[in-house]
Structure 1
Amino acid sequence: MQTSLLTAEGVRLSLRESGGDGPAVVLVHGWAQSGEVWTHQLAAPPFRATAPDLRGHGDSEVTEDGYRDPAAWAADLKAVLDRVGAPAVLVGWSYGGLVVTDYLRVHGTAAVAGLVLVGAITEIGRDRPGGATGPLMRRALPDALSEDPAVAVPALTRFITDQAPGLEGAVAQRMIGAALRVPPWVRRELFRRDVGSADVLRSVDRPTLVLHGTADQVVDPAAGEYAAALIPGARSHRYPDVGHAPFLERPERFTADLAAFAREVAR
């Protein structure tokens, strides 16, 4: 079911909800995508799933500002967690890992049952180890941020089709469409940040699972290793020969791993 909510600051966010009983799981997508990427996890999930569209993405409001502000991202995610109404497992994919870290920076872990970082960054800025990118991300920029469709469309197409080997053509085209729905200036704003998160990661006191594909060329696996090393007790798991989107490339395995973790932290 797709619905929407208003944050305390009056920002309208769209979100997808699925499932009934079971642990609550909030799925946070990455840069220039939407909650639709979690289609496999939203289809009859073994948990109660909520997948918001971040501000400026999907069907959510394109706000005039807030994209460089950790407090704005934190407020948006707080509104989603308030709607869920129970401690949830927070899952952050790619840039979604930074949004999750923004939330923790401002609000801590009281509403969090556990964390799952999936091919995720937790920092951003030059020489930030938690934001280490791979060659595919570096090749996509700056063309993927261009106002000129003749420049941006090919760059975004290559970026999406190459990030997850074997991705079905129909799925890739939906992801390309989602990227093109994000205004170019919003795509640019998300990169105009310089945020370190070492202290935030060290303060995490909830069970954490760090998942990364060994063939990820968007976010370097070193970014995941950095987070796993700083978060007390974090467990790290690699998906061999998987790229940037294990939930799309190995949906059954990923969903089973996520469900097992959610059940474990719920107990």
Structure 2
Amino acid sequence: MNELSLVGADGNRLAASVAGNIDQPTILLAHGGGQTRHAWGNTMKSLSARGYRAVALDLRGHGDSDWSEHGRYELDAFAADLIAVARRLGRPPAVVGASLGGLAALVAEGEKAPGTFSSLTLVDVTPRMEMAGINRVVGFMTAHAQNGFESIDEAADVIAAYLPNRQRRRNLNGLAKNLRLGPDGRYRWHWDPRFITNVQPPEQERRFDRLENAARRIGCPVHLIRGGMSDLVSEEVTKAFLELVPHASYSNVVDAGHMVVGDQNDLFSEAVLGFLETHYSPK
């Protein structure tokens, strides 16, 4: 796996990991809010083994990518970065976006620059979602954004409490990639805390409407992957999305919550590949 430095819409540096060869069809992977490109590690291996070039991006303010100088973490900024990266990668890539990454890709393709992507896979995210689930995610991210953790073990305990369906990590090496050690000796998430302050639940209804309008205009192949136990994308929400985007494909990954990629990676990766091999076959 190689490392790649890309440039976002504001001239901001974006870190990426790459698996596969440049002459293979490119799959751009955009993680969820508060995550890093390392969330896609196993999926990248599966994609490259089946003849694809996987490019996993650290979104602005996350992981090893630059923090926004002016705190620009609105959805438009993330979408603009994806457009800039897609153009840098050559022919329109297929994009797989989890949560925030999916919403940014939806805005990019359905509103800002149609034709940016050859296909769009949304991972447990739709234009309109359950507010209880949204509030739970935002609450988790906000709780330790400023003060952080005394140790990586403490962070693992907090995650285990947040994700009771997933076994607590024994090997914490992967978790360490999502944390940074501050000069005060405390560990904090590997993202700019200003990112979470831009989440404005009172404005969510207007945001839902905007995202629905973007979804209606999507012309490329679309794939929704839902976690069967998701508290954001319920069965009712899924039905509404499939009515909104009638040409969309749909996969339900049972025994997975909102964090589908980490909960059931093998099943998730096979769902991604099944869709891609129908619409975007490797050489």
Counterpart contact for 1:216–1:242, Cα < 8 Å? yes
Counterpart contact for 2:36–2:58, Cα < 8 Å? yes
Deviation digits for residues 196-219 of structure 1 (CA, Å, limit 9, x no counterpart): 3111111111111111111124x2
Deviation digits for residues 115-151 of structure 1 (CA, Å, limit 9, x no counterpart): 11111243xxxxxx34645274265264244x23369
- The equivalent of 1:38 in structure 2 is 40
| 1:222-233 pair list within 5 angstroms | 222-233=236-247
Deviation digits for residues 70-120 of structure 1 (CA, Å, limit 9, x no counterpart): 1x2222001211122122221111121211122124433313211111112
Distance 1:160 1:59, change over 3 A: farther
Selected match of 1:82 from 82, 87, 91: 87
CA distance in 1: counterparts of 2:249 and 2:191, whole angstroms = 33
- SS of the counterpart of 1:201? helix
- SS of the counterpart of 1:148? coil
Deviation digits for residues 231-255 of structure 1 (CA, Å, limit 9, x no counterpart): 2311222111212223223222222
- The equivalent of 1:102 in structure 2 is 107
Counterpart contact for 2:109–2:115, Cα < 8 Å? no
- SS of the counterpart of 2:74? coil
CA distance in 2: counterparts of 1:74 and 1:114, whole angstroms = 15
Task: Determine whether 1:113 maps to 2:129.
Answer: no
CA distance in 2: counterparts of 1:95 and 1:32, whole angstroms = 9
CA distance in 2: counterparts of 1:245 and 1:265, whole angstroms = 25
Q: TM-score, normalised by structure 2?
A: 0.78
- The equivalent of 2:183 in structure 1 is none
Counterpart contact for 2:30–2:97, Cα < 8 Å? yes
CA distance in 2: counterparts of 1:9 and 1:138, whole angstroms = 26
Unaligned runs of 5+ in 2: 181-187
Report the Cα offset of residue 41 of structure 1: 1.5
Q: TM-score, normalised by structure 1?
A: 0.82
CA distance in 1: counterparts of 2:14 and 2:277, whole angstroms = 28
CA distance in 2: counterparts of 1:167 and 1:121, whole angstroms = 28
Unaligned runs of 5+ in 1: 123-128
- The equivalent of 2:185 in structure 1 is none
Instruction: Give the % identical residues.
Output: 23
Report the Cα offset of residue 38 of structure 1: 0.1
CA distance in 2: counterparts of 1:131 and 1:121, whole angstroms = 10
Q: Give the structure with higher Rg (CA).
A: 2
- SS of the counterpart of 2:277? helix
